[in-house]
Amino acid sequence: MSLDLMAGYEEPPDLADEGVWLECIETGEQYAPFEEVRYRSDAGALLEVRYADLPTFEEFEGEGVWRYRESLPVEQEVTIDEGATPLYELPRLEDEIGVQSLRIKHEGMNPTGSFKDRGMTVGVGVAGELGVERLACASTGNTSAALAAYGGRAGMETLVLLPAGKVAAGKIAQASLHGARILEVEGNFDTCLDIVQDLAEQGEAYLLNSLNPFRLEGQKTIGFEILERHRNEYDTFPDRIVLPVGNAGNTAALYKAFRELVASGALSESEVPKLTGVQAAGAAPMVEAVEKGKDEVERWEEVETRATAIRIGNPVNAPKALPGIRATGGTAVAVSDEQITDAQRTLAGEGVGVEPASAASVAGLRKLREDGTVGSDERVVCLTTGHLLKDPDAAAAAGVEPESVPGETEGVLEHLGE
Ligand code: F0G
């Protein structure tokens, strides 16, 4: 395993007075976290939140995202009880795929039905600290739902930019009722993100996409939860975590959780799970970069998939996520929409309702187990990122047709007997 795992964590910080600072992932330049609004370093690279004190499992206390408050940049201010999501056993699927153990970490069980809540409880808290007025994001849907809910809870104005005609019904309904102003943009998600970045640079709004390093701090708690719970139940950490990839925010966030634990000595390098990303074949620039061994991702201008949540051609967190996949010995794989729907059906058949993008993780695991990349001796956790009801149309299309019957028992019995 590469020593990337420890990169940047050995050096004494210049700005550690408050114990928290921002650091450029390329130059190591440091910035005070709450004095100005800043999304990138002077070099134009991504920023990462750093802490003087690194986490150990012993100090975690409480439930949910804020159990990890010692590893988060702000105090708990805006919360709807996010995190503490289930780690389900699925014995039939485990059997079918043929691994030593399989768990599903179902992030669809968060308050607005996706993992985005973990990022927003922190990100909207930071927005309060910075004293900004209007919050904004580009979104394939889930981010907009979470931003609207957490912004509403904080009493802040929210603006969301969505790709017209490409966002699942449940997500628009949430953003709308939680009170966001919704702009439907002619273009895909990447166009929306270009525009909202311009708006943020011009001071029109505070950007809460995963480009914002504070949001990823909240999402990092997915990693802490998986490791803690897995060890409690199996006495060991998982060998591999498989997750859907869009902007690669979660991939970056999980890698950060691992690095912090390694740096504190709570996790040994050999215990770090292999980060394994899955994309839809019609939107797979990360897979392309991993397969070609590239350090950078080439933007795909044309993207298409039924898994609209990950219909993304320009994964902004690739510079953080690619080193994570590489350093942990993981990989990335593309799956077809049919494989995604099959996995969605299988999960639902065992009681776990997820949206299409979420099912990509299981579809990817199936594929990697079949081609031998994943061994039968592995303990695997698949992340499912959003709830089935987020995309009712996709669920109905993947499910069975209702049957019409007359309004009396005889007729029903006759129909059943057919
Ligand atoms: N799964 C779901 C259900 C998502 O909504 C997203 C991203 C991802 C996976 C990908 O996660 O970006 O961390 O790699 N949705 C964003 C949104 C883009 O706007 O809701 P990632």
Residue 39 confidence class, pLDDT cut points 50, 70, 90: very high
Domains in the chain: ranges and CATH = 87-113+216-398 (3.40.50.1100), 116-212 (3.40.50.1100)
Nearest to 382 by CA among 215, 247, 254, 214: 254
Residue 166 CA to ligand 1 centre (angstroms)? 14
Give the atom of ligand 1 at the shortest distance from the alpha carbon of 312.
18
Residue 118 confidence class, pLDDT cut points 50, 70, 90: very high
Per-residue model confidence as pLDDT tens digits over 373-400 = 999 999 999 999 999 999 999 999 999 9
How far apart CA 292 and CA 99 sit, in angstroms, is 28
Residue 3 confidence class, pLDDT cut points 50, 70, 90: very low
Residue 39 CA to ligand 1 centre (angstroms)? 19
How far apart CA 193 and CA 139 sit, in angstroms, is 8
pLDDT of residue 10: 56
pLDDT at 75 over 50: yes
- Residue nearest atom 12 in ligand 1 by C-alpha distance: 247
Residue 51 confidence class, pLDDT cut points 50, 70, 90: very high
- Count of C-beta atoms within a 10 Å radius of residue 104: 26
Per-residue model confidence as pLDDT tens digits over 352-366 = 999 999 999 999 999
Residue 17 CA to ligand 1 centre (angstroms)? 34
Which residues of 271-365 form beta strands (DSSP E)? 274-280, 331-335
User: If you average pLDDT over residues 267-293, what whole number do you get?
Assistant: 98
pLDDT of residue 4: 56
Computed over its alpha carbons, how large is the radius of gyration of the chain? 21
Which of 8-17, 70-79, 92-101, 121-130 bottoms out in mean pLDDT, i.e. has the lowest? 8-17
Q: What is the mean pLDDT of the chain?
A: 96
Handedness of CA 226, 230, 236, 241 (dihedral sign): negative
